[in-house]
Structure 1
Amino acid sequence: MFSSSTTPKTSDFEVSSPPTDGISNLVFNGQQDLLSATSWDCQTRIYQVLPNGSTEPKAAIQHEGPSLSSAWSKDGTKLLSVGCDKAGRLMDLNTGQTTQVAAHDAPIKCVRFIDGGNMSNVAVTASWDKTVRYWDLRSQAPISQLLVSSLPERCYTMDVTYPLMVVGTAERHLFLYNLTNPTVVFKQILSPLKWQTRVVSCFPSASGFAIGSVEGRVGIQYVEDKDQSQNFSFKCHREDDKKNVYCVNDISFHPIHGTFSTAGADGTFNFWDKEAKCRLKAFSSIGTPISCTAFNKNGSIFAYAASYDWSKGHGTIFTQYTINIYLSLRA
C-alpha cells in the first residue's frame, strides 16, 4: 500500500491561446522550453515558455483531422505530429516548413523519436491500423514495418526510452521491443491490470515501464525475468475506493529523479515514488479531467492539460468542461 499526503491545489500559470477542443498530448522540447500540444481541433500548437511562467504561441501544424500525438527530434529543431488524418507531419523550426513524412491506413495514435544505436533520426508511429512503422526522416520512406500479424489489435499507447519500446493495444496486449532489433517483438504479455489500457510510460532507466488503465489502477512492470518480483500495482484516482473509479489518463516520469506523476479523469494529479512505494503529493481536483501531462527537460516545469478526455463517451456534452493548459513551476 502507498502511504499518502495531500497538498491543496494552488494557482498555476495558464498557457495563452490554448486549443479550442480536447487536448490529447503534451510534450516538451528536450533542448529548450518549447511545449507542443495536440488537440481535437486539428492543430498541434507550439508554445514558448518564458522563465516567469508566461507563454507565447510560436507556431502550429495543421491536420485534416484531430491531432493525437507529437514528438520532438533529439536536437530540438523538428516536431513530428500525427493524427486522425492518417498522416505524420514534420515541422522544421528553422524554416517554418511542414511536410508529410509518414502515413498509415487508419488514424495514427502515437509517435516517438528514437534516440540511440543505429536508429538516429528515426521516428516510430503506431496506428489503429494495427501496425507499427519506422520512418527514416532523411529519405521520407519507411525503413521497416511490423505487419498486421505483429499487432493483433489497434494501438492505444506507446512509449520509447532507448533501447526499450512498449506498445499497448486493445484487449490488454503489451508488446516489448529491444530497438537494437526493432522488427522483432522481444516479449509479449497481457497487462497486469484487468481493464482497458490507457497509457504506458517507460522508466528513464529503460528497465521497465508503468501502465495505467480505465479502472483507476497503475502497474509497475520490469522487463527482465530476474526483476519480476519487483512488479506491483496500486489503486489511484478513485473516490471511496470502488464507488467512483476514474481513468488514469497519463503517466509522466521526472527526467532527473525517476519519480512520476499520474493524472486522471477525476481532475487530479499525484506524484509518486515507485522505489519507496509512496505517494509524494496529492492535489485536489481542478473540476475538469486532466487528459495529459509532461515534464520539461530538467523537471523544473510540470505541464498538465484540462479538457474532456472521452472517458464518459461521445454522448457527454464536453463543452461544459474547461479547455486549458497549466504550468506548475514547483514540480
Structure 2
Amino acid sequence: MMAGVGVGAGRELSSPPTDGISNLRFSNHSDHLLVSSWDSTVRLYDASVNILKGQFTHRGPVLDCCFHDDASGFTGCADCTVRRFDFNTGREDLLGSHEAPIRCVEYSHSTGQVITGSWDKTLRCWDPRAASGKERAPMGTYSQPERVYSMSLVGHHLVVATAGRHINVYDLRSMSQPEQRRESSLKYQTRCVRCYPNGTGYALSSVEGRVAMEFFDMSEAGQAKKYAFKCHRKSEAGRDTVYPVNAIAFHPIYGTFATGGCDGYVNVWDGNNKKRLYQYSRYPTSIAALSFSRDGRLLAVASSYTFSEGEKPHEPDAIFVRSVNEAEVKPKPKAYVAAP
C-alpha cells in the first residue's frame, strides 16, 4: 500500500501500468478488469483476487479499451490502429486504422459492431468477425465536427463528445446522420460523457469542475429536467480552486454515479435527488478513470496524474479496487412530511 494511503482507499492492485492510465473497465460477466495505459499496454486483472492474468504490448500508447467477451477485447491506440486481442490464446488481430490516434473504442453487444472515435475527426464502425492480420476497410466512416474526446453507448444510443463542446447522438441502427446535434451546456472543454443505465440520457463533465445531466427526450418537459452542478473544487481564503472532472461511472443497480477529479477525490451522487451521497478519502493523485463491477459491489479507481498542472513530480500510477457499501451508493428516500 502506498505511503499515506489508508485502507479506506481500497485494495491496491499489483503490477500496475508504468505510465498514465487512460481507462479501465470491468467485464459484464465477471470481476475481470481491463486497463489501458500510456505505457503501450493493455492489462487484464482478476480484481477480486488481485491477479494480473495477462498483458499485451502495443506499438504506442493505448488510449482506450473495452471488452468483447470475458477474456478478449478491443483497444484504440496512439499508433492509429484498432486491435482485438484474446488473452486465452495470445492472439492479436488488426481491425483497421484511422488517420490520427484513436481516442475512444466501444463494442455494441446489440449490433455486434466496434465503434472507434479518433482525433482525425471521424467515427468508424468495424465488423470484428473480419479481424485478421491484415487491415480491413471499416463498415462506415462518419465525419465529426471536431476531434473525438469521449464516447458512451447504451442500447442503440451512442453519444459522442468532441472538441469545441459538440455532442452528437446516434442510433447505431442508422448511422448516416446523428439523431441529435447538440452543444454542451457546460462552458468549457468536455472531459467525459457517460450514458444513464436506464437509457434516458447522459452525464457530461468538463475541465471546469462541473457535471451536466442531460436527457434524450427533446420535448419541453424532457428538457426541463436537465441541470448542471459544481463539484471537485475547494475554497481557501476566499479563493476557489477548480479541478477538471475526468471520470464518471454509473452504478449498475441504483443508477447513482461516481465522479473523479484532478483533486484526487471520488464523489458519489444521487442525480435524481440532486445530492452528494458520499466522498471517499483522497487518493494520491488525479482520478483518471472509474468503473463499477457488473453487480455494483466493486469500484475500480485509477489514481494517475493527468498532467493538468503540467510536468511536476507526482505519485506513481496505481489502481485501487474498493468494496462498495450499499449506504454509499443507494439513494436515500425523500423525507415524508404529513399534511397538517
- Above 0.5 in TM-score? yes
Helix, strand or coil at the partner of 1:126: strand
The answer (yes or no) to whether the contact 1:61–1:81 under 8 Å persists in 2 is no
Query: Which position in structure 1 is the counterpart of 2:55?
Result: 60
- Matched residue type, 2:64: S
The answer (yes or no) to whether the contact 1:219–1:231 under 8 Å persists in 2 is yes
Larger radius of gyration: 2
1:114-135, Cα deviation, whole Å (9 max, x unpaired): 121xx12x11000000000000
Tell me the distance in 2 between the aligned counterparts of 1:268 and 1:35.
21
C-alpha displacement at 1:242, in angstroms? 6.3
- Matched residue type, 1:138: R
Tell me the distance in 1 between the aligned counterparts of 2:323 and 2:227.
31
The answer (yes or no) to whether the contact 2:285–2:314 under 8 Å persists in 1 is no
C-alpha displacement at 1:330, in angstroms? 2.1
Q: 1:143 aligns with which of 139, 144, 154?
A: 139
- Supply the RMSD in Å over aligned alpha carbons: 1.5
The answer (yes or no) to whether the contact 2:9–2:280 under 8 Å persists in 1 is no
- Matched residue type, 2:199: A
Tell me the distance in 2 between the aligned counterparts of 1:253 and 1:64.
32
Q: Which has the higher contact order (CA 8 A, sep 6+)?
A: 1
Tell me the distance in 2 between the aligned counterparts of 1:96 and 1:63.
13
The answer (yes or no) to whether the contact 1:164–1:179 under 8 Å persists in 2 is yes
The answer (yes or no) to whether the contact 2:47–2:321 under 8 Å persists in 1 is no
Q: 2:28 aligns with which of 27, 30, 43?
A: 30
Q: 1:302 aligns with which of 296, 299, 318?
A: 299
Matched, 1:95 2:97: no
- Matched residue type, 1:280: L
- Once the two structures are superposed, the pairs formed by residues 191-270 of structure 1 within 5 Å of their partners are 191-226=184-219, 227-240=222-235, 243-270=240-267
TM-score by length of 1: 0.90
C-alpha displacement at 1:182, in angstroms? 2.1
1:5-55, Cα deviation, whole Å (9 max, x unpaired): xxx9824100010001111101111111110111111111111123xxx31
Query: Which position in structure 2 is the counterpart of 1:15?
Result: 13
Tell me the distance in 2 between the aligned counterparts of 1:326 and 1:246.
21
C-alpha displacement at 1:76, in angstroms? 2.4
Q: Percent identity?
A: 39
Query: Which position in structure 2 is the counterpart of 1:131?
Result: 122
In structure 1, list runs of 5 or more residues that go unmatched. Answer: 1-7
1:67-117, Cα deviation, whole Å (9 max, x unpaired): 1100112x424210111011112112332211111311100000000121x
- Matched residue type, 1:133: R
The total of aligned residue pairs comes to 311
Tell me the distance in 2 between the aligned counterparts of 1:159 and 1:301.
21
Range with greater deviation from structure 2 (129-138 or 96-105):
96-105
Tell me the distance in 2 between the aligned counterparts of 1:252 and 1:264.
12
- Matched residue type, 2:244: C
Query: Which position in structure 1 is the counterpart of 2:104?
Result: 110
- Matched residue type, 1:41: D
Runs of 4+ in 1 over 4 A off after TM superposition: none
Query: Which position in structure 2 is the counterpart of 1:178?
Result: 171
